[in-house]
A and B are shown apart, each in its own frame.
Chain A
Amino acid sequence: MLYLKKGFVIFVLVMTFLGIIAGCSSTTNKSVSKDGTIKLRMVESITSPARTKLLRGMLDKFEKENKKIKVELISPPLQSADDKINQMLMAKEDIDVLEVREQTVKNFSNNKFIVDLSPYTNKWENWNTLTETIKHGATAVDNKPYYIPYGVYEKTLFYRKDWFQEAGLEVPKTWDDLVNAAIKLTDPAKNRYGYSFRGGAGSPDYIEFMTWSYLGKKINPKDAYFTQDGKVIFDTPEAKQVLDTLVKLYKKASPPDSISWSYPEMVQGFTSGMTAMLIQDPEVIVTSEENMKKGTWATAPIPKGTPSGVAQQPAGTAGWGIGAFSKHKDAAWKLVSFLSSPEENLFFAKNNSLIPIHLSAGDDPYFKEGYFSSYIEMNAKPDEFLIADRPVEYKGYADYRAFAVKDIQSLLLGKMSEEQALAKWTDFWKKEKENKK
């Protein structure tokens, strides 16, 4: 009986541990089935029901062309997708293909979550047909291609053509024009405002590209939060001009609630007919086409700074990379190169409202004419519309983006002065620079 008891104890302990171990490692060795079919796991980040469906369709096509490969698509909810991907990679899960973004590529490569794709891209026939912006984005970290972008997110100006015509206004070319037009179009009694202001999450992005636009070629293109002569960009008279412009724009031409607006509210504000102007990424083109009458709206290049006379913004890229813990890296590359081929990418970009990655897409009438033409116009004038890189190589960038939102709101509420905000940001970036050395 005593033996039986011991046996029972051991039995229970073993079963419990087996249970826990099995629960933790359910994915081992399932990726190859008996008949040699490989199962790839792919995780996307900027998810939406429509995009997931589109992507699934492309994956089905890939599976048809490659009978021995199956792809499982994992689509976490948008809000927490990047966190989810991080957690999966921290747990060393064998993700084969994952969505890598300009904002996450540095983290991922630092932590050795993704692999350098140069062994593959060296032999890839389509590498040389990529546009310069895409090559630039792909190799932004350590000069190595860590991912192949599927498109570019660049901002453009959306405006209410009908309201502008009614008021006899010209489409703004500079930020000063924009502020004046916005004020003229504002009429709170009619619940009509000039500008879809962003005061909530993501607002530091607007400070960033406006300051770059105002400073123009004074910034250091390799280290864009600093000027050519080594000053922090916020330590300049131009930065003060930017904050003046923003405060005026908020107080005189934007809905009061927009102090907490972020992406969905800004877009909703424009498409629902509350605001006359919006500066946003190309995917808003599809949303506007769905929700607004044709002819009531149009797009234009983003406004320029004064006195620089140029506009300067980051070219946000997102794309597909290969996970470091993948067991089928060659098959994963097959999938990445399939998704990045000129035909597939053109299809994805068109349906997802993005600027495509290959040079050949410029000839496509959809992008040459219509709402995308503002992008083509900006691309055609590289001296007036410059591209700068976000300081993703700095550890404090995420932290800055978090607290600057609060500072901008404090500024708009009058709880903080422009000088205080600029001094705070300048100090922060000075320290970042010192710590990085």
Chain B
Amino acid sequence: MKTQTETVTERSLPSFSISRHGLFIFLCLLPALLLVTVFIYYPLFKGVVMAFQSYSLFDLSNIEFIGLENFKTVMADSAFKESLINSFYWVFFSLLPQFLIGFIVALLLRRKFRGRGIYQAFIFFPWAMSGFLIGLIWRWMLNGQAGVINDLLIKLNIIDTAIPFLADPTWAMVSVIVANVWYGITFFAIMILAALQSIPDELYEAAKIDGANYIQQLFKVTIPYILPTLIVTTLLRVIWILNFPDLIYSLTNGGPAGSTHILSTFMLEKLIYGQNYGQAAAVGVILIFILLFFSIFYLLATKFNKAGDF
């Protein structure tokens, strides 16, 4: 037990002191903190350091700091510029349809109808699959000679000759985006549906009494109410779409001729085929900065603070 004086002296210590309760909380958090440090922050730090080193698998005994050399080499590469532009197309044209269709699906699922549970399960199914697997499935479906999609289009008399979906640069980009849209709709549908279910029915009743039609209800009640969710899910999705290489990697591997490379698959290529960890890390650092600036800009532009707390 502490005496009165001990307590007093403890209080008179400089302001940097942790209460017993605080210490207990800290100790409880410590294991998690250590794990996160070891498995997330250390690799992240190591990755950033690598970006400034001549880190190549060819000769690990000779690793030196080479300043911005990796960044210069990477940025001078025309394939990097192409990946950067592709990344923009990839994110924009994947996100927009995902969001719109996901929103519509969520609105449709909000109403109760028979078999909604089963229907919901079917809609949400793609989300449970790995992007790699989805890439492989689409790769066979889109196959120019033996693919089911070409076969169907020919049998329906829509086209005469098979479309080389994965062999033509433009079609290849369209193909990966279509696969990604198919994959990502579910994410928006789940998140938006959860937000929709939190809107109190009274609001709609009040709107109806005021004579608002469906469209007016949508824009005056539904969207303002779930705006924070919309902003956060869109932001998360942008980060994921840009970061995840799995779908493109297994579907086209960036080909043909780099026409479907985005920054993250370009990075993987540097790593797996080029075996140059330093340059791959440099691409990774650039990617982090792009996402960081985008996030700040996006949150400022959407006046996120005013949209309510989330």
Contact = CB atoms under 8 A, between A and B. Distances in A.
A26 interface: no
A366 interface: no
A256 B167 contact: yes
B166 A402 contact: no
A122 to B, nearest CB: 27
A317 B168 CA distance: 35
B276 A257 contact: no
Contacts, number: 112
Interface string B19-57: 010010001001100100010000000000000000011
Contact of B253 (A8, A16, A201, A274): A201
B57 A406 contact: no
Given A199-B256, A201-B253, A399-B276, A257 B144 contact: yes
Nearest to B1: A1
Interface in A392-437: 395, 398-399, 401-403, 405-407, 409-410, 412-413, 415-416
Nearest to B256: A409
Interface centre among A274, A405, A415 (most CB of B within 10 A): A405
B273 A398 contact: yes
| Interface of B: prevailing SS | loop
A239 to B, nearest CB: 20
Interface string B68-79: 000000000001
B176 to A, nearest CB: 12
Contact of A20 (B34, B56, B144): B34
B144 A201 contact: no
B1 to A, nearest CB: 7
Contacts of B61: 110-112
A8 B270 CA distance: 48
A260 B79 contact: no
B20 A395 contact: no
B217 interface: no
B56 to A, nearest CB: 7
A5 interface: yes
A9 B27 contact: yes
A5 B23 contact: yes
| Interface of A: prevailing SS | helix
Given A16-B31, A257-B164, A399-B274, A415 B145 contact: no
Contacts of B252: 260
A142 B40 CA distance: 40
B59 A395 contact: yes
Contact of A90 (B1, B30, B60, B274): B60
A327 B60 CA distance: 22
A369 to B, nearest CB: 35
Interface residues of A, number: 46
Nearest to A80: B272
Contacts of A86: 57
Interface string B249-260: 000111111100
Contacts of A111: 57, 59-61
A191 B147 CA distance: 12
A259 interface: yes
Contacts of B23: 5, 9
Contact of A274 (B27, B145, B254): B145
A83 interface: yes
B188 to A, nearest CB: 31
Interface in A283-331: none
A106 interface: yes
A399 B77 CA distance: 12
B258 A406 contact: yes
B246 interface: no
Interface string B166-210: 111100000000000000000000000000000000000000000
A12 interface: yes
A255 interface: yes
B58 A257 contact: no
A86 to B, nearest CB: 6
B294 to A, nearest CB: 27
Given A8-B27, A257-B164, A395-B56, 5 more contacts: A13-B30, A16-B30, A257-B145, A260-B255, A403-B274
Interface of B: 1-2, 20, 23, 27, 30-31, 34, 38, 56-61, 79, 143-146, 161, 164, 166-169, 252-258, 269-270, 272-276
Interface of A: 1-2, 5, 8-9, 12-13, 16, 19-20, 83, 86, 90, 106-107, 110-112, 188, 191, 199-201, 255-260, 272, 274, 395, 398-399, 401-403, 405-407, 409-410, 412-413, 415-416
